[in-house]
């Protein structure tokens, strides 16, 4: 008997991966957590039936959500990650000696436990002494943070279920306050391609643009996310994402990456015309 994982990308489009076996299944207070083993993508994590990461393509997402802001803010010291309990963003940040503290605010302790056990290549740096894990709702955590972080990385689930609050104007406004005067916030920004995802992307962009003076979008190719075309938001108080960035300084750090490089950093902010139009439609 063949076992397949299937996710509906729209009511008319499905994405399936043949599964060798199921490694873990659990129901936490917040969501259903599953980890599967597959031939094509290695191990993969799903929450409530939605793909979070696969061993084969997670490097693209995690490198793009971390190295873009780290290159734009050389020497960043204090980092806040909201979500990200799989540890992939932490693994990338752990390469930077300049970082003093990483606060990881993950609502669901069970995600961290399952990833530590079954996805060690992603979760392996969660024990770095600079990492402090807070099992809390990110929406509530940022209400009490002021002028405390250089970079905030919003590595959340989609805008429904426990992640819903992380796409609100209140949350982005509080992230603005939690950042230092030259701070940067990046977030996973959904996909522009299918109408429902595109609408979520526009809504997030509108709300971020209402809170931050600099608000840009960049892209990456992530094969296991709906349509494969994924966007990230770059919002900041002062720093531009490309203009004035010291790429030579980042290269001199010798950070190891498989997807990210400084030419790609610049190119990722060049968006297709239809995406530019979708963004302009909602900018204030």
List residues binding ligand SAM (CB under 6 A): 47, 52-53, 61, 82-86, 105-108, 111, 137-139, 155-157, 162-163, 165-166, 188
Nearer to ligand SAM, 150 or 158 (CB): 158
Give the Cα separation of 46 and 154 in Å (integer).
18
Question: In angstroms, what is the minimal distance from the CB of 138 to ligand SAM?
Answer: 3
Nearer to ligand SAM, 48 or 239 (CB): 48
User: Of the residues 150, 155, 158, 197, which is catalytic?
Assistant: 155
**Which residues have CB under 8 Å from 58's CB, separation 6+?**
86, 88, 122
Nearer to ligand SAM, 25 or 98 (CB): 25
Nearer to ligand SAM, 101 or 262 (CB): 101
Question: In angstroms, what is the minimal distance from the CB of 273 to ligand SAM?
Answer: 25
Question: In angstroms, what is the minimal distance from the CB of 83 to ligand SAM?
Answer: 3
Question: In angstroms, what is the minimal distance from the CB of 122 to ligand SAM?
Answer: 9
Question: In angstroms, what is the minimal distance from the CB of 28 to ligand SAM?
Answer: 8
Nearer to ligand SAM, 52 or 208 (CB): 52
155 among known catalytic residues: yes
Catalytically annotated residues: 155
């Amino acid at each position: 008997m063949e076992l397949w994982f299937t996710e509906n990308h729209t009511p008319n489009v499905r994405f399936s991966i043949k599964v060798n076996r199921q490694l873990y299944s659990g129901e936490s207070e917040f969501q259903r957590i599953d980890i599967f083993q597959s031939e094509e993508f290695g191990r993969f994590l799903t929450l409530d039936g939605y793909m979070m990461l696969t061993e084969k393509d997670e490097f693209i997402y995690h490198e793009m959500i971390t190295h873009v802001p780290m290159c734009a803010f050389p020497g960043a010291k204090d980092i806040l990650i909201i979500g990200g309990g799989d540890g992939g963003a932490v693994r990338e940040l752990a390469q930077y000696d300049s970082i003093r503290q990483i606060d990881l605010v993950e609502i669901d302790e069970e995600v961290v436990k399952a990833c530590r056990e079954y996805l060690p290549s992603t979760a392996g740096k969660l024990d770095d002494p600079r990492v402090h894990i807070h099992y809390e709702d990110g929406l509530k955590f940022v209400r009490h943070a002021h002028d405390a972080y250089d970079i905030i990385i919003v590595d959340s689930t989609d805008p429904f279920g426990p992640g819903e609050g992380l796409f609100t104007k209140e949350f982005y406004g509080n992230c603005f306050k939690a950042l230092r005067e030259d701070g940067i916030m990046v977030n996973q920004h959904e996909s522009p391609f299918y109408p429902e995802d595109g609408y979520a992307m526009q809504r997030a962009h509108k709300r971020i643009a209402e809170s931050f003076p600099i608000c840009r979008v960049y892209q990456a190719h992530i094969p296991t996310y709906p349509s494969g075309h994924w966007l990230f938001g770059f919002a900041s108080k002062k720093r531009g994402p490309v203009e004035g960035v010291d790429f030579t300084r980042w290269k001199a750090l010798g950070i190891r990456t498989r997807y990210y490089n400084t030419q790609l950093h610049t190119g990722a902010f060049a968006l297709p015309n239809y995406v530019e139009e979708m963004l302009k439609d909602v900018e204030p």
